[in-house]
Amino acid sequence: MKFKFRVIKQDKKTNARVGIIETPHGYTLTPAFMPVATCGAIKGLTWDIIKSLGYRLILSNIYHLYLRPGIDIIEKAGSLHKFISWDYGPILTDSGGFQVFSLSDFVKITDEGVEFKNHLDGSIRFLTPEDIVNFEERIKVDIGMVLDECIPYPADYEYTKKSTLRTLKWAKRSIEARKSKETALFGIIQGGIYDDLRELSLKETIKLPFEGYALGGLSVGEPKTIMYHIIKKFAPMLPYEKPRYVMGIGKPEDLIFAVENGVDMFDCILPTRSARNGTLYTTYGKINIKAAKYKEDFTPLDPECNCYTCKNFTKAYLRHLFNAQEINSAILNTIHNLAFYARLISNMRKAILEDRWEEFKEEFFSKYSPDFLPSEWEEFLKKD
């Protein structure tokens, strides 16, 4: 089976939509949030837990897999799916563009590719757009992101323009390098904070026969007003008949805003990393489980959550585990945060299908953040 995508239903008043992605390794419904399995694993959890939470599409990172265990090892195992024993659905791999620029203390970017210092052993490596496509096809991932140059914030106009044009060149070379019909490729829209460069990147990238398109270069330190502006203006401009992906955003309010503006896919380390640091997402907002006020709180973490953590343990016990630095703390917290995100995404899909998107938003925010209602988004954007 080749990669397929279709929209099942769109909200009557907004761009929010439900779709289905079909791949050689199964399907996923959209909107979809991808748990981040950077090195082929989600910290603290086994795959049976991830399956039980309802996730089908997961994300891994080609940069990290290339450094260890190495593409050759995974290829010899038969595929990334077989190597990590993920048999429940598709895998998307990020190209590692962000990691190259953020983890290495030496990076040299040219039109040919990127030279960088391996953050693990200090060796000098060089990767091209063609290398990334080759790696993704060799390990048989369902969706491969092409190599792009990650633009930092802030960045001046001339630097951003040069970087954006380079990403376009790399996108064209990535299409030319593809050999497999099993691995879908997604193009990435760059352009930083500049509308004209974003529009240029979008118009040129969607001319290329990618199976999906992503808005990149967001959640890199820019004010939220800028991020919201870019999503609101450019996500609906991406082809209707193909998946739309915003890379790296993960706050619940950001996901809802993006879905309302036609985005289908997301990934972020926020729920898993926050869980390990003691920050937990609940129906009634974020809590810091380390806080002293939970020392004698023998109530469930989230009374409206049905996950293993909430059904079996109290806030007092979860606080104790965290303060005692028990491994179970990270496990139970991660189970809950990923359950919260799975429920949020599922509720969004259900609301769209049942024509009650506005009701969903009002209900969610009235509990999660009573001081911030969706009606304030327009005023929020005007501050940009």
Pairing between β-strand 285-288 and β-strand 212-215 as defined by DSSP bridges: unpaired
| Matching residue, tokens 């937990």 | 280
What one-character-per-residue DSSP string does 249-310 give?
---HHHHHHHHHTT--EEE-SHHHHHHHTTEEEETTEEEETTSGGGTT--SBS-TT--SHHH
* H or E segment and range at residue 8: strand 4-10
Compute φ and ψ for 317, nearest 5 degrees: -70, -40
Q: Which listed residue (11, 94, 254, 302) is catalytic? A: 94
Question: What is the number of other CB atoms lying within 10 angstroms of the CB of residue 376?
Answer: 11
Q: Alpha-carbon distance 52 to 372, whole Å?
A: 32
The CB density around residue 293, as the number of other CB atoms within 10 Å, is 10
User: Residue 25 in contact with residue 91, Cβ under 8 Å?
Assistant: yes
Order of strands across the sheet that contains 124-127: 107-109, 114-117, 124-127
Bridge-partner residues for 32, per DSSP? 265
Residue 264 annotated to the active site: no
3-state SS class at 167: helix
> Cα(75)–Cα(180) distance, rounded to whole angstroms?
14
Which member of 254, 264, 267, 302 is catalytic?
267
Phi, psi angle pair for 107, to nearest 5°: -140, 130
Q: Say if CB 310 and CB 301 are below 8 A apart.
A: yes
Q: Residue 111, SS3?
A: coil
Q: Which amino acid is at 81?
A: H
Beta bridge partners of 315: none
94 counts as catalytic? yes
β-bridge partners, 327: none
| Active site positions, annotated | 94, 267
